[in-house]
Amino acid sequence: MKKLYIFDFDGTLVNTLYDSVIAYNKALRKHNLPEYEYDSLEEIDFKDFKNSITHDEDVLLTYYDEYEKGEKKYTQAYPGVVEVLEQIVNNGCEVAICSNRAEFQLEDYARKLFPNISFNSIVGYVPNGPFKPDPALINQILDNVEYDKNEILYIGDKTTDIRTAENVNIDAVVVTWGQGDQEAYNDEYPIKVIDKMEQLLEL
């Protein structure tokens, strides 16, 4: 078992996609633009949604505002996440978060969704800061621990997460329940592609 498990957030620990789509459509309506169409929330394709997002700064600002003030009733941890995080910590290991989401949002979500989990570090985007796969974000975590790199695991859902782990020479695991695609699942760098959170405990 590894000693430190570092997790991506969106698409790995927490499903934030549905509330993002709802907020985006509210923004489009406010600007009298056609909404992003989907049959059901569960069938939304992340890549299709991402590719549909406008570059219009006014619409994007409205989107961010709608997201911030939204109820976010669909935002929740994926099945098995809370239980596995608790098991990792109970086994004497540590957990951390490294994400491109704004750091203040990560801290707020962690308090609300994982109140009983003590994270070693929560590192996210700060104004004018770097984004993954730039190693600077994850190095904020690595520089403050004494584990060997072979004792550390990074878990994410997309190719960006794989390159982040590769850039700091630590093992990576890819999950299939988030926002990833076949490019990530077929990448040669990860030591494992998992379909259930519980499979982390087998490594």
Quote the tokens at residue 171.
């093992």
Q: What is the pLDDT of residues 20-76, one digit of tens each?
A: 999 999 999 999 999 999 999 888 988 899 999 999 999 999 999 999 999 999 999
Residues 95 and 200: beta-carbon distance below 8 Å: no
SS3 for 125? strand
Dump strand ranges (E) for the chain. 4-7, 14-15, 76-77, 94-102, 122-125, 152-156, 171-175, 192-194
**pTM for the whole thing?**
0.94
Residues 138 and 116: beta-carbon distance below 8 Å: no
The dihedral through the CA atoms of 147, 149, 152, 156 has a sign that is: positive
Question: Over its length of 203 residues, how does the chain's per-residue pLDDT go in tens digits?
Answer: 799 999 999 999 999 999 999 999 999 999 999 999 999 988 898 889 999 999 999 999 999 999 999 999 999 999 999 999 999 999 999 999 999 999 999 999 999 999 999 999 999 999 999 999 999 999 999 999 999 999 999 999 999 999 999 999 999 999 999 988 899 999 999 999 999 999 999 98
Quote the tokens at residue 119.
């994270």
Q: What mean pLDDT is reported for the chain?
A: 95
